[in-house]
Structure 1
Amino acid sequence: MRSAILSALTVSATAVSAVTYDYIVVGSGPGGGPLAADLSRAGYSTLLIEAGGDEGLNPTYDDIANFNEAANDEATRWDFWVKHSDDPVRDLKFKHNTWDTGAGTFYVGLDPPPGAKLLGIQYPRAGVLGGCAMHNGAVTTLPQDDDWNVIVNTTGDVSWEAGKMRRYLKEIERNDYLAAGNPAHGYDGWLSITAAPDVSWAKNDNLTGTKILKEVARLTGQDVSKVADLVSKDILEDVPNRDQVTSFYNMAQHSDSKGKRSSPNNYVRATLAEKKYPLTLKLHTLVTKVLFSNSTDGMAKAPPRAIGVEVMEGASLYRADPRSVPGGKGPVSQIFASKEVIVSGGAFNTPQILKLSGIGPRAELEKFGIPVIKDLPGVGERLADNYENSLLALANQTVDLPGLITMQFRTPSAVGKNRNFFTWCGNFIFQGFWPGFPGFAGPTQFTCAMLHIGPKSQSGSVRLRSADPRDVPDINFRFFEHGGAADLHEFVEAANLLRESWLAAGAPAAPFEELHPCPGRLAKGRAECSDAAQAEYFKTQVYSHHASSTAAIGGDNDPLAVLDSKFRVRGVNGLRVVDASAFPVVPGAFPVLPTMMISRKAAEDIIADAKKAAA
């Protein structure tokens, strides 16, 4: 049924007319795509604008196993070249810095050829219907309760309480790995979520992977006799004190039981295919700014109101697109919204669009000659992300592990009681992003990827390079600027714990030859380098791909708050932001599911306001 619906639907980028819609949604990713579908299903005429095309039927994107190929594909890839700090010397130590050789190729590494131009650290995003949910690994997790409750604590809006937010998971979820009727899950939503069905390997004590699994259990205080059950534990479970539990889990993904990606692309296309909802999709259309009307209310001047958007039509106009042509441009026109404009461009593009529209720090806007609609200093600030890195080794023989060892755990020095790391170990390699990633270390490669939950530093920024909407902004994460020593110490603790578990592999897989962070043969459970050396490695080699918080929700007393708790941009009317930039902190380990959850919450808020206004 799914294939029939999608194949019968033809979506094209027709010329934008001057028609007026109830709502305009800018960006079709995890925030904007579901929101546009929900608004139209509620009966409101909605225009969804996407700068990229549609690859929903392309196996590179549709088959979840091809996610690495999808993230490398020029058909959708937007290359953001970012900085990790204000120290260029430190950033040049990053082993996967990318350089333009001038010959149509990239050089990746520490010793570029003469004349090569430094591009920076690649941070690929997806310019395509469905956004980054179309090229990611589809890992599906929930934020910690504290990540929801911080909004309650700063705004007073109790609708964000963690216990209430699960409702939005249940509304969008079509659970495909648990028996129907589990009260923690939904079974009729648009988002398929599945998990590996066969974990029988964990019952075979002769497997090298099972030996490592049991040693990890012992080191983290789990019941070694129950590991075969723990590896299939529901990572989206709803239990008391969930965030304090160190445990193995399943690796849930937003895909179906046939290995097909489930994303906003499917939901938007299905909504269009039913042909009974007032949803219009415009592809290959770059939004250049939001339009405002300075209306008056009696004698007092009312706040500026968003009334539409200006767009430029054409493929590959944005210069993050590797297919972009220098000087390329398309026809410019305007489209209008009678109710609201919702910006859902993601943590990089949303603040850029807001600033180009006159919403942002006054000094920055005036620097580029952009008329100031509203001075909001927080736009583009507080950029945050999880820190990621890995232990990589070559085993003496391929590790016999048919699946993944997935675990969330707490290191001894973590602040508070919550777990602070997500790890997945197996016969793969993942070392961050560069053109052509993930690389290959050999048939015996073995990795424990580590993702740090709840980074203490939120000091990054997204700032304009020019007033040209086709230019890519200047992005600097400023990793470890605040609380860096503590974060690095936690990383070292996590690495030391996971490394020790590898000793249990035994011959013939052992001994392991570690490639990083501590090159050398692993023996006696000790790293071949000091904790200080490991910390320095992590400081220079961490990477990330879960950017958030550049247009964050905050309280009235927060000078850097961009949104109120209903996603409304402060100081103007008719404008909201619904994407990962709205989170005041990084939402847990992987932001894609929480972003789709707040998309449903935003639809509820917007529809409630529309009904109230019409009453």
Structure 2
Amino acid sequence: MDHFDYVIVGGGSAGSVLAARLSEDPDTTVCLLEAGGDCNSILVRAPAGLAVMAPSKPFRINNWAFMTEPQPGLGNRRGYQPRGKGLGGSSSINAMLYIRGHPSDYDTWASGGCEGWSFADVLPYFKVSEGNQRGGDALHSAEGPLQVCEQASPRPVTQAFIEAGRQCQIPYNDDFNGPMQEGVGYYQVTQFGDGDRKGERCSAANAYLDPALTRSNLEVRTKSIATEIVIEDGRATGVRYRRRGKEAQIRADREVILCSGAFQSPQLLMLSGIGPAEELKRHGIKLRHDLPGVGQNLQDHINFPMISRSASTDMFGYSLAGAIKLVSEAMKWRKTGTGMITSPLAEGGAFLKTDPGLDRPDVQLHFVIGIVDWHARKFHTGHGYSCDVCVLRPKSRGTVTLRDRDPYSAPRIDPRFLSDDADMETLVAGARKAIAICEAPALAPFRKSDLYPFSDLSDDVLRESIRLHADTIYHPVGTCRMGTDDTAVVDPRLKVHGVGNLRVVDASVMPTIIGGNTNAPTIMIAEKAAAMITSGQ
């Protein structure tokens, strides 16, 4: 049997960071198991490739492409949940937006019993990961492995969106991770800003794993699906997995670390007999440790897209002129690392308060330079743009449970979107602000017609439209919640309660969802976890 000090399950954003950081010590051996491939294709390297990978239609590429249970809050529709499959995980198929959330999000974690996770505590780990093109200051660093840069070639329609926001009295913000989150502006992206890879995506695997692959103490095994955590005498001692159709087992002499994300980390815990006793009994799984919180507390940002058609072809879309332009832009990208292919699609955005009395923004806008209907899974000819509004701190809570005991089956995902009425009211209020921006003079030259009406709707009709069109903005968290109470899954050192030598390190440990995109916070969590592990915590 193979022996390593650490066995990491999942080579996504967190797993890539941990594998690289733990293997910096040449006397420490690390094995990383990843169910997908290496994610080195042109679709991953080209930022705009997410338009092909994220929808998973007509082909599923680097994407688990999960579906939810029918959602009563969304008219009993099944939601779509893309998740990255391959090294880099979702950082290999996402929009690359570098957002940390609001500082108070982390202070809330700390005040809720997660000692060591206040913003002052986590800021050093954001900074140690960040290689920002702008340079370093009190809130940023230019020295980290994760490349963060300005967008190379944002489209004029995005500038118009930003100007439209300013026409609505929203202040311009050139740094959503700076002293103030509120405002409208461009997103910074996790992309190479110079050098041979200028204009390419910088996934967590690119940033952390690629430079570490030559280390003799690090082994990366792709196409390896973990099926069970081996538990002996109350502690994790290894992992069973399948690779190329063969069963195998690997031993962890120090720790097993799950980095499989908000859906698959709780799934693997339950398949291994760690979780709610009744859920495991229902599937005939031997109970190793009754941990009621596993798979509970699922939180996600519910998102409502408002889509407009445009006569301009200077956006992504389906037309002869657009196809000719895209070929030209692809050649430009290969030569110069600039142009439309560098676009994250969601080029501009805003953080807004639906009530001026709030102490922090409660909705976020993503301005997308394409017609994104049903996650771009519904085809439309022509060109256009989408202004998406999401609720930053939803009150609705869902679950992740098992469909059956087959590790190849997708987990049963039930976000229970809009099950708390407060989320709908926040979304309606946020949509009203977004509609005002869409109707501002600056966007008028680009706006031809609306794909689905969103102007001049009563609140009741707007709510019905939300139920017909809203879904995730791809930020599931919370299903292996960190805390010290009876329903927490991991403690503030991310160790699983009641099971030795086992940690969970990914977005599933977030007690509450942060107010923004979740990739940078997930990388921060892994940086902090690596520091705790190497220091013996």
Q: TM-score range by the shorter chain?
A: 0.7 to 0.9
Candidates 283, 307, 310, aligned match of 2:240: 310
Matches within 5 A, 1:14-163: 18-43=1-26, 44-56=28-40, 58-71=41-54, 72=56, 73-85=59-71, 90-92=75-77, 120-155=78-113, 157=115, 159-163=116-120
Post-superposition shift, 1:469?
1.1
Find the aligned partners of 2:38 and 2:136 in 1 and give their Cα distance: 35
Cα separation, 1, equivalents of 2:283 and 2:70? 25
| Change over 3 Å in CA distance of 1:512–1:475 after alignment to 2 | same
How far did 1:564 drift? 0.5
3-state SS in 1 of match to 2:71: coil
> How much does 1:546 deviate?
1.0
C-alpha displacement of 1:542: 1.3
Distance 1:504 1:209, change over 3 A: farther
> Which whole-Å CA distance do the structure 2 matches of 1:53 and 1:511 have between them?
41
Note the 1:198-209 alignment, pairs <5 A. Answer: none
Give the corresponding residue for 1:431.
Answer: 373
Correspondence for 1:300? none
Larger Rg: 1 or 2?
1
CA distance in 2, matches of 1:510, 1:266: 36
SS at match of 1:456: coil
Cα 1:540/1:36, change in 2 over 3 Å: same
Counterpart position of 1:357: 272
Instruction: Identify which of 285, 306, 331 aligns with 2:224.
Output: 285
How many angstroms apart in 2 are the aligned matches of 1:76 and 1:198?
26
In structure 2, the CA distance between the partners of 1:209 and 1:185, relative to structure 1 (3 Å rule), is: closer
- State the shift of 1:150 in Å: 2.4
The one-letter code sitting in structure 1 at the alignment partner of 2:273 is G
Aligned AA (1:59): I
SS in 1 for 2:251: strand
- How many residue pairs match? The answer is 500
What amino acid sits opposite 2:513 in the alignment? V
Q: Give the aligned CA root-mean-square deviation in angstroms.
A: 2.6
Task: Find the counterpart in structure 1 of residue 426 from structure 2.
Answer: 490
Counterparts of 1:413 and 1:573 in 2: how far apart (Å)?
48
Q: Quick one: which of 460, 470, 478 aligns to 1:549?
A: 478
Q: 2:329 matched to which residue of 1? A: none
Task: Confirm or deny that 1:235 pairs with 2:171.
Answer: no
Contact 2:161 2:367 in 1 (8 A): no
Q: What is the distance in 2 between the residues matched to 1:351 and 1:30?
A: 17
Under a length normalisation based on structure 1, what TM-score does the superposition of the two structures give? 0.76
Report whether the alignment pairs 1:579 with 2:506.
yes
CA contact (8 A) 2:155 2:314 kept: no
Relative to structure 1, the CA distance from residue 156 to residue 133 in structure 2 (aligned partners, 3 Å threshold; closer, same or farther) is closer
TM-score scaled by length of structure 2:
0.87
Amino acid paired to 2:37: G
Partner of 1:337: 252
Q: CA deviation at 1:479?
A: 0.8
How much has 1:418 moved relative to structure 2?
Answer: 1.2
State the alpha-carbon separation in 2 of the partners of residues 506 and 47 from structure 1: 53
Q: 2:144 is matched with which residue?
A: 189
Secondary structure of 2:252 counterpart? strand
1:110-161 deviations in Å (ceiling 9; x for gaps)? xxxxxxxxxx43322222111111111111101222321222112251x211
Tell me, what secondary structure is at the counterpart of 2:445?
coil
Q: CA deviation at 1:576?
A: 0.3
- 1:219-275 deviations in Å (ceiling 9; x for gaps): 2353xxxxxxx36x12221x2xx34xx312321111111221112222454344443
- Which one of 255, 260, 263 corresponds to residue 200 of structure 2? 260
Distance 1:123 1:210 in 2: 30
Identity score, percent: 27
Q: Note the alpha carbon deviations across 1:516-555, whole angstroms, 9 max, x for none.
A: 353xxxxxxxx33211110122134211111111111022
Structure 1 unaligned residues grouped into runs of 5+ = 1-17, 93-119, 202-207, 223-229, 295-303, 315-329, 519-526, 611-615
Change in Cα spacing, 1:449 to 1:364, as seen in structure 2 (3 Å) is: same
**1:464 matched to 2:402:** yes
Q: For 1:337-416, list aligned pairs within 5 A.
A: 337-395=252-310, 404-412=347-355, 416=358
Name stretches of at least 5 consecutive residues in structure 2 with no aligned partner. 317-339
